[in-house]
Amino acid sequence: MTFGARLDAAIRQWGPLCVGIDPHPELLARWGLTDTAESLVAFSDAVLEASAGSVAAVKPNAAFYERHGARGVAALEHTLKNAKEKGLLSILDVKRGDIGSTMEGYSDAYLAQGVPLEADAITVSPYLGFGSLRPAFELAAHTGKGVFVLALTSNPEGASVQHATDANGVSVARAIAEGAADLNAGATPMGSIGLVVGATVGDAVRELGIDLVAVNGPLLSPGVGAQGASPAEVAQVFGAVRSRVLVTQSRGILVAGPFVEKLRGAIQAAAGAAQYALGTVEAGE
């Protein structure tokens, strides 16, 4: 199965929540853990145990592992392997983006089959040109993996690049969305090239002329649910494609650790909030 088909099935079975695994120093301390590579393993294992059978996917943030050097990368390898063993789709948040053989190297590191850092999907940055990401797209198609391209993020700095337009008035974000649409054309139930779109970007999708229906791929979105975008705001951004939205939450869930049962409860609450925001359940269900 393609990544798009596997993710669609996971969302239908477990709902639209993706739990971010972000073992930053403040959270480790809150859990009573020291800031070491060994603690990353304990942290990640607890999050995965609480997530299994409850969510569609998990999203380890590579930065918090890499800061510990080789041992941290080994902890990330362990986390990705453990996620696979528990039947969880993994989206490795690495935001890679480069050209030529360097992009091929990044792609081989995460999207090839059987490599130590193998993930089901990765995040990538398109700001050396959407076409520069072709090695990742091609390898993902070959190995049944997914790629999420930064498109319309909600951080204040993002608009200066993403909203910029070319001589024909086409914004960078729209061009990225159209590139993904071309790669996903004809895929069912959806393609494997997704976009990262913040839930709090307001009316930017409409104002920039972005057709999310035509993208025909998954939309990875922070900022939905508890203390995030309201159902009305989510409808404003995603409209008819809310069934393709994968909501990512991390710190709001992870503060419930280190006990697995409390983490599981926080995950279930976040999942319910995400479903309500997306309009798939009524309040209180």
So which residues are the catalytic ones? Answer: 95
Q: Which two tokens stand for residue 190?
A: 């959806």
The partner residues of 74 in beta bridges, in order of sequence, read: none
Place of tokens 């299994």: 52
CA-nearest of 151, 152, 238, 146 to 193 is 146
Contact assessment for residue 148 and residue 194, using Cβ atoms and an 8 Å cutoff: yes
Say how many CA atoms lie within 13 Å of 149 toward its Cβ: 33
CA 10 – CA 174 distance, rounded (Å): 28
Q: Which two tokens stand for residue 231?
A: 């159902």
Find the distance separating the first CA and the last CA of the chain, reported in whole Å: 32
DSSP 8-state assignment for residue 52 = T
In this structure, which amino acid lies at residue 174? R
CA 227 – CA 23 distance, rounded (Å): 21
DSSP 8-state assignment for residue 92 = E
3-state secondary structure of 249: strand
Under 8 Å CB-to-CB from 283, ≥6 apart: which residues?
A: 276
CA-nearest of 271, 203, 278, 275 to 234 is 278
